Structure 1
Amino acid sequence: MDFSIASILMLDGVTNGAVYALLALATVLVFAVTRVIFIPQGEFVAFAALTLASLQLGKTPMTAPFLLVLALIVAVLDTVTGLREGLPVVRVLKRVLGAAVAPVLIGLVALWAGPRQLPLLLQVLLTLAIVTAIGPLVYRLAYQSLADASVLVLLIISVGVHFALTGLGLVFFGAEGSRNPSFWDASFNAGPLFFSGQTIIILLASIALIVCLWLFFEKSLYGKALRATAVNRLGARLMGISSTAAGKLSFTMAAFIGALSGVLISPTTTIFYDSGFLIGLKGFVAAVFAGLASYPGAALGAVLVGLLESFSSFWASSFKEVIVFTFILPVLLWRSLRDPHQEEH
Structure 2
Amino acid sequence: MDFSIASILLLDGVTNGAIYGLLALATVLVFAVTRVIFIPQGEFVAYGALSLAMLQLGQVPGTVWLLLGLALVAVALDAWAGLRQGRPAAALLRDAARTLALPVAVTLLTLWAAPLKLPLVLQCLLALAIVTPLGPLVYRLAYQPLADASVLVLLIVSVGVHFALTGLGLVFFGAEGFRNPSFWDARYSLGPLTLSGQTIIIFLAAIGLIVALFLFFERTLRGKALRATAVNRLGARLMGISATGAGRLSFALAAFIGALSGLLIGPATTMFYDSGFLIGLKGFVGAIFGGLASYPAAALGALFVGVLESYGSFWASAFKEVIVFTVILPVLLWRSFSDPHHDEEE
Task: Classify the TM-score, shorter chain.
Answer: over 0.9
Q: Is 1:149 the counterpart of 2:149 in the alignment?
A: yes
SS in 2 for 1:183: coil
Alignment of 1:200-239 (within 5 A): 200-239=200-239
Rounded to whole Å, the distance in 2 between the matches of 1:97 and 1:289 is 42
Higher mean displacement: 90-99 or 323-332? 90-99
Per the normalisation by structure 1, the TM-score is 0.98
Which residue is 1:120 aligned to?
120
Rounded to whole Å, the distance in 2 between the matches of 1:170 and 1:15 is 28
Which residue is 1:288 aligned to?
288
Q: Is the 8 A contact 1:64 1:111 kept in 2?
A: no
Shift of 1:211: 0.5
Cα offsets for 1:297-319 (capped at 9, x unmatched): 11000100000000101111111
Rounded to whole Å, the distance in 2 between the matches of 1:334 and 1:95 is 48
Shift of 1:116: 1.5
Shift of 1:52: 0.3
Q: Is the 8 A contact 1:64 1:108 kept in 2?
A: no
Rounded to whole Å, the distance in 2 between the matches of 1:132 and 1:16 is 22
Alignment of 1:12-91 (within 5 A): 12-91=12-91
Which residue is 1:163 aligned to?
163
SS in 2 for 1:107: helix
Rounded to whole Å, the distance in 1 between the matches of 2:241 and 2:104 is 27
Shift of 1:91: 2.6
Query: Given residue 203 of structure 2, which amino acid in structure 1 is its aligned partner?
Result: L
Higher mean displacement: 106-115 or 208-217? 106-115
Query: Given residue 61 of structure 2, which amino acid in structure 1 is its aligned partner?
Result: P
Cα offsets for 1:234-266 (capped at 9, x unmatched): 100000000000000000000000000000000
Long gaps (5+) in structure 2: none
SS in 1 for 2:132: helix
Shift of 1:115: 1.5
Cα offsets for 1:67-89 (capped at 9, x unmatched): 11111111111111112122233
Which residue is 2:96 aligned to?
96
Shift of 1:207: 0.5
Q: Is the 8 A contact 1:136 1:249 kept in 2?
A: yes
Query: Given residue 202 of structure 1, which amino acid in structure 2 is its aligned partner?
Result: I
Rounded to whole Å, the distance in 1 between the matches of 2:154 and 2:247 is 13
Higher mean displacement: 92-101 or 165-174? 92-101
SS in 2 for 1:195: strand
Rounded to whole Å, the distance in 2 between the matches of 1:319 and 1:84 is 55
Long gaps (5+) in structure 1: none
Which residue is 1:314 aligned to?
314
Query: Given residue 310 of structure 1, which amino acid in structure 2 is its aligned partner?
Result: S
Q: Is the 8 A contact 1:72 1:100 kept in 2?
A: yes
Query: Given residue 55 of structure 1, which amino acid in structure 2 is its aligned partner?
Result: L
Structure 1 stretches of 4+ with a deviation exceeding 4 A read none
Rounded to whole Å, the distance in 2 between the matches of 1:100 and 1:93 is 10
Rounded to whole Å, the distance in 2 between the matches of 1:331 and 1:85 is 48
